[in-house]
């Protein structure tokens, strides 16, 4: 059954209505989102009767805003120098997809080959192909497929699917110059349902079935080859290695994010906006910290070289190879920067050593380089476990801690700012905000099972009750509350306060944030690059959202928030017509203002690092 037919049937059975196209965002009574991983140039098909994706596209676009493209070249050079990993990601993905087809999906590939062979035997021009040749050619075509899957059906083949199939076949031919391209063209014709002389109904049905089975195999081969293998090897900047992400795209330009959000407002206003899920490789707050490394490439380089030198004594050398290898060790340092608790005293309570050891074991097995789930190298795993314990021994490895902690605290501070910014985007941009369990406060979790640990909801309820009672006491106390949570960011109340205030605004102005229009704002002034802003409108209701970005280059002191004139200088936010001259109120702090044609950034971010101004 085609995805669109499945969704339509689900809607019909559960809502009593058959979806009809062209009736706008609310045309489907049953709220359905799809966990569809979109390639960078792959839109969600508009004829699917759903309300959008489950949010991985939003996650990667929003997170990318906080990656500094200036850091790409130096971080790439550092990665190559340290690890010797010089393979381009597309080549790595190609090899790992073939590995998965060989070791994990061999039975599925064999059955698909049998179907293709049956088609070949009915064609006098193809019956000389051997099963081995067909199997190898199929593996090449799947390894070169540019998206997770196509959607060939009895209704035909779309131009988009033909283009992607052609792209895969052309790439397979390019990568295999010694293989007769005729076999690849035969596969291509079977996939795009090219008629053959003397075709029967059985011939056409066989090709349709083959195409259906082919696209059911490209999806798991891609998922396992990329997300569960290549993403644990290509460790240049691991915050980019996220579900649905493209690690070769180093950051997202503000205009690109504006275009994405404008399209969401127009076409998918009820798609989910996620930053963390049950399946993400690391939590939103860990990712926010690691993103900040792109702003500090020179200092990061010096620190990492120092850590490699300080910890060389803890490595194990076996037959000329170290445990961990350089790539694994580089992964560990990025991970430590991300998961380190706000308070050093919490190191034991948060079980950081045990969690990092467990993470490294999983990461190495997923990478399938020195060990794997099916062929475990117990000696290597044990040596890496010992290495993590030795590195994180506060007393015995004091020199490392003395070098690591000051830098980690700086990165953590930039991560706090990034986290608040991306949280406000999630809560106010077009889409339905999805708050994963526990992320109302700081969440420094890694991939599952680390992100499935029990959440202390009692603490969250207690903190939220205290914040709400203060917030409901009036605007004067709201301003004081904002100052209070900013004064103690480590306890997470600043994030919880932001989530609470933004959700209250959404509830009060539901139409504005659900179906309101989207207007990009392009800041001006000397520090415009460090701001991202947009406005929304629905009838008389309107909102202005402004967040800082790339604050590592702002010259902030330790623990300093990006607020006020000293930080923002002449930076300003040119306002759309529907906001000019209107009284505005900051939903987070209770501040008020009536800007004219432009709102000075020093006023929009006068006392709090992100701004949600309502009219």
- 178 within domain boundaries: yes
User: Is 352 within 8 Å of 339 (Cβ atoms)?
Assistant: yes
Position 19 confidence tier, pLDDT thresholds 50, 70, 90: low
In this predicted structure, the answer to whether residue 249 has a pLDDT above a threshold of 80 is yes
pLDDT for 346 equals 85
DSSP 581: T
Position 476 confidence tier, pLDDT thresholds 50, 70, 90: low
pLDDT for 18 equals 57
- 215 within domain boundaries: yes
- 63 within domain boundaries: no
- Cβ-proximal residues to 269 (8 Å cutoff; 6+ apart), any chain: 25, 430, 431, 514, 515
Find residue 464's DSSP bridge partners: none
How crowded is residue 124: how many other Cβ atoms within 10 Å of its Cβ? Answer: 11
In this predicted structure, the answer to whether residue 376 has a pLDDT above a threshold of 60 is yes
- 210 within domain boundaries: yes
In this predicted structure, the answer to whether residue 23 has a pLDDT above a threshold of 60 is no
Question: Up-side HSE of residue 455: CA atoms within 13 Å toward CB?
Answer: 15
- 197 within domain boundaries: yes
Measured between its terminal Cα atoms, the distance across the chain in Å is: 47
Q: What is the pLDDT of residues 98-121, one digit of tens each?
A: 999 999 999 999 999 999 999 999
Rounded CA separation 445/285 (Å): 8
Q: How far is CA 109 from CA 89, 104, 136, 223, 224, in A?
A: 24, 10, 9, 15, 14
In this predicted structure, the answer to whether residue 168 has a pLDDT above a threshold of 80 is yes
Q: What's the pTM value of the predicted model, to 2 decimals?
A: 0.95
In this predicted structure, the answer to whether residue 22 has a pLDDT above a threshold of 80 is no
Q: What is the pLDDT of residues 152-167, one digit of tens each?
A: 998 889 999 999 999 9
Q: What is the pLDDT of residues 425-458, one digit of tens each?
A: 999 999 999 999 999 999 999 999 999 999 999 9
3-state SS, 421-482, equals HHHHHHHHCCCEEECCCCCCCCCCCECCCHHHCCCCHHHHHHHHHHHHHHHCCCHHHHHHHH
- 502 within domain boundaries: no
Q: What is the pLDDT of residues 299-336, one digit of tens each?
A: 999 999 999 999 999 999 998 999 999 999 999 999 99
Q: How far is CA 88 from CA 92, 261, 327, in A?
A: 6, 30, 15
What would the mean pLDDT of 579-591 be, rounded to a whole number?
A: 97
pLDDT for 16 equals 66
Position 248 confidence tier, pLDDT thresholds 50, 70, 90: very high
Of residues 402, 186, 431, 224, the one with CA closest to residue 303: 402
Indicate the number of domains in the chain.
1
What would the mean pLDDT of 353-371 be, rounded to a whole number?
A: 98
In this predicted structure, the answer to whether residue 21 has a pLDDT above a threshold of 60 is no
User: What percentage of the chain carries pLDDT values higher than 90?
Assistant: 87
User: What percentage of the chain carries pLDDT values higher than 70?
Assistant: 98
Stated length of the chain: 615
pLDDT for 24 equals 44
Q: What is the DSSP string of 242-263?
A: -TT--TTS----HHHHHHHHHH
pLDDT for 522 equals 98
User: Is 308 within 8 Å of 315 (Cβ atoms)?
Assistant: no
Domain that holds residue 110: 89-227
Position 8 confidence tier, pLDDT thresholds 50, 70, 90: confident
In this predicted structure, the answer to whether residue 28 has a pLDDT above a threshold of 90 is no
Of residues 217, 246, 195, the one with CA closest to residue 40: 246
- 102 within domain boundaries: yes
How crowded is residue 121: how many other Cβ atoms within 10 Å of its Cβ? Answer: 12
pLDDT for 14 equals 79
In this predicted structure, the answer to whether residue 208 has a pLDDT above a threshold of 50 is yes
Q: How far is CA 588 from CA 423, 510, 550, in A?
A: 13, 17, 22
Token pair listed for 73: 């070249």
pLDDT for 13 equals 84
Rounded CA separation 5/414 (Å): 46
Rounded CA separation 57/273 (Å): 8
- 9 within domain boundaries: no
């Amino acid at each position: 059954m085609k995805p669109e037919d499945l969704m339509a049937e689900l809607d019909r059975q559960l809502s009593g209505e058959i979806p009809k196209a062209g009736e706008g965002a609310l045309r489907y009574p049953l709220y359905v989102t799809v966990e569809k991983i979109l390639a960078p140039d792959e839109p969600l098909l508009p004829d699917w009767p759903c309300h959008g994706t489950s949010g991985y596209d939003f996650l990667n676009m929003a997170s990318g805003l906080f990656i500094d493209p200036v850091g790409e070249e130096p971080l790439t050079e550092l990665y190559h120098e340290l690890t010797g990993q010089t393979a381009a990601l597309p080549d790595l993905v190609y090899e790992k997809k073939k590995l998965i087809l060989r070791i994990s999906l061999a039975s599925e590939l064999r059955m698909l080959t049998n179907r293709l062979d049956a088609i070949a035997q009915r064609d006098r021009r193809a019956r000389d192909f051997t099963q081995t040749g067909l199997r190898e050619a199929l593996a090449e075509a799947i390894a070169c497929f540019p998206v997770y899957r196509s959607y060939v059906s009895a209704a035909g083949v779309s131009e988009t699917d033909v283009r992607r199939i052609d792209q895969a076949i052309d790439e397979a031919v390019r990568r295999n110059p010694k293989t007769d391209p005729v076999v690849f063209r035969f596969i291509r014709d079977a996939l795009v349902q090219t008629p053959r002389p003397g075709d029967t109904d059985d011939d056409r049905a066989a090709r349709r079935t083959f195409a259906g089975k082919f696209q059911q195999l490209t999806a798991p081969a891609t998922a396992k080859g990329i997300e569960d293998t290549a993403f644990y090897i290509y460790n240049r900047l691991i915050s980019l290695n996220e579900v649905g992400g493209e690690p070769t795209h180093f950051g997202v330009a503000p205009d690109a994010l504006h275009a994405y959000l404008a399209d969401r407002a127009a076409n998918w206003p009820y798609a989910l906006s996620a930053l963390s899920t049950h399946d993400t490789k690391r939590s939103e707050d860990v990712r926010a910290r690691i993103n900040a490394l792109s702003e500090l490439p020179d200092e990061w380089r010096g620190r990492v070289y120092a850590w490699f030198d300080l910890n060389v004594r803890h490595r194990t050398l076996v037959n000329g190879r170290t445990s961990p290898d350089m790539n694994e060790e580089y992964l560990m340092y990025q991970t430590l920067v991300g998961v380190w608790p706000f308070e050093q005293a919490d190191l034991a309570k948060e079980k950081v050593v045990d969690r990092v050891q467990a993470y490294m074991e999983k990461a190495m097995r997923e990478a399938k380089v020195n060990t794997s789930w099916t062929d475990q190298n117990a000696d290597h795993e044990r040596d890496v476990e010992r290495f993590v314990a030795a590195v994180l021994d506060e007393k015995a490895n004091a020199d490392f801690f003395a070098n690591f902690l000051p830098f980690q605290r700086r990165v953590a501070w930039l991560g706090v700012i990034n986290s608040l910014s991306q949280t406000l985007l999630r809560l106010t941009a077009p889409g339905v905000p999805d708050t994963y369990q526990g992320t109302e406060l700081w969440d420094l979790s890694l991939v599952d099972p680390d992100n499935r640990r029990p959440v202390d909801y009692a603490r969250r309820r207690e903190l939220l009750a205290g914040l709400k009672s203060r917030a409901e006491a009036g605007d004067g106390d709201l301003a004081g509350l904002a100052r209070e949570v900013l004064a103690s960011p480590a306890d997470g109340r600043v994030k919880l306060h932001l989530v609470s205030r933004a959700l209250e605004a959404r509830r009060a102005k539901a139409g504005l944030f659900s179906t309101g229009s989207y207007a990009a704002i392009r800041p001006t002034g000397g520090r415009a690059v460090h701001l991202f802003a947009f406005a929304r409108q629905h009838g008389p209701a309107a909102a202005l959202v402004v967040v800082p970005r790339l604050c590592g280059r702002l010259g902030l002191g330790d623990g300093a928030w990006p607020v006020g004139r000293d930080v923002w200088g002449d930076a300003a936010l040119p306002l759309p017509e529907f906001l000019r001259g209107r009284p505005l109120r900051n939903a987070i702090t209770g501040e008020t203002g009536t800007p004219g044609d432009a709102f000075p950034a020093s006023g929009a971010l006068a006392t709090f690092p992100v701004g949600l101004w309502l009219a």
